[in-house]
Amino acid sequence: MRLLLLACLRAQTGNATTAGRIQDHLEAVGHICSLKDAFGYENPSEIANLISAEKFEAALAIHLYKGGRLLQGSRIPFGIIFGGTDINEDIKHEEKHRVMGAVLEEARFAVAFTEKMKELAAAEWPDARSKIYIQTQGIMTTPSATFNWKRFLQNAGIPQDTENVRLFLLICGLRRVKDPLYLVDVFSEWHRREPHIHLVIIGPAVDPQFTSEVNEKINRTPGVHLLQEIPQDDLHAAVKRCFAVVNSSISEGMSAAILEAMDLDVPVLARNIPGNAAIIRHKDTGLLFTDPQRVCPALQKSDE
């Protein structure tokens, strides 16, 4: 079957990673899957022309609004894969909420990564409950065999005493919903007390204005470093060498960075939000925190 897969494909982001995995799974079972960037199309008419020109037989879209709206009125069957932005952010906007409901009504099926995500969607669109299915992400990590750890530390501006460095890695696109500055001050204070502690934030500049704020803050915050995105196999290798992966997002659907760290047997520390709590059992498969101080043992009170 010739399938169209619409997703937001900004390089080195969770959306692009997830879309690539879905494409691989579909092609592995014999389908022809063409991955297209939803940001490259403005309206359903453009997608209709694409479907006609490339003779697609069915379609999938990640995100009800960003991708799904482009499939409205489609003459081929389509399904929707929920993103965290759908339920956590876009649902708050009246027009986006209306469009998402209309897309869900047209879709043959919808996929949620967690039970919590399904229940939130079903509460908004009760008639769609029966067509929402739960399927977790399939994760496969591929650490680079040629990754240069010393060079990675050098690029981050970390002293080359590599044996003693204890590195925490926060992987995210630089936008407000990921809240990468949430832990910056506590990690800097921890670094001042224990200089071998470092936090590296790594990811693309999704929101230019917010990225400027992040740069300004980190430039005056010892122990915290910022790196642009790197190839996925190098990123997996960096994760494997770090002490723990950190997630400080305000909202998540299902964090690929957390799942990848788990696959690599690396500890995870994550903000206690529904998307993270759905995949982490506190003190079993990771640690959930609601207070930044809880992340840094050196800053906790002696009676805790």
Percent composition of the chain: helix, strand, coil (DSSP 3-state, to 5): 45, 20, 40
Q: What is the pLDDT of residue 86?
A: 82
CA distance 258 to 264: 10
Question: Stretch 246-265: mean pLDDT, rounded?
Answer: 90
Specify which of 3-17, 131-145, 229-243 reaches the highest per-range mean pLDDT: 229-243
Q: What percent of the chain has pLDDT over 90?
A: 65
Of residues 217 and 14, more confidence is placed in 217
Percent of the chain with pLDDT over 70: 94
Where exactly does CATH 3.40.50.2000 map onto the chain?
2-134, 149-299
CATH number of 2-134: 3.40.50.2000
For residue range 51-73, list pLDDT tens digits in order: 999 999 999 999 999 999 999 99
Judged against a pLDDT cut of 50, whether residue 79 lies above it is answered with yes
pLDDT of residue 302: 41
21 band by pLDDT with thresholds 50, 70 and 90: confident
Mean pLDDT across 125-137: 89
Tell me the C-alpha distance between 155 and 157, whole Å.
5
How many C-beta neighbours within 10 Å does residue 69 have? 21
Check pLDDT > 60 for residue 215: yes
Q: What is the Cα–Cα distance from 52 to 49, expressed in whole angstroms?
A: 5
CA–CA distance, 15 with 156 (Å, rounded to integer): 25
Query: 65, 101, 97, 111: which is closest to 254 by C-alpha?
Result: 111
Beta carbons within 8 Å of 131's beta carbon, 6+ residues apart:
104, 107, 108, 109, 110
Per-residue model confidence (pLDDT) at position 97: 93
pLDDT tens track for 152-194: 999 999 976 656 899 999 999 898 989 999 999 999 999 999 9
Choose from 46-50, 133-137, 229-233, 281-285 the range with maximum mean pLDDT: 46-50
Per-residue confidence at 9, pLDDT binned at 50, 70, 90?
Answer: confident
What is 149-299's CATH topology?
A: Rossmann fold (3.40.50)
Give the model's pLDDT for residue 11: 58
pLDDT at 254: 80
Please choose, from the candidates 68, 136, 138, 74, the residue with its C-alpha nearest in 3D space to the C-alpha of residue 103.
Answer: 68
Residues 54, 190: Cα–Cα separation, whole Å: 55
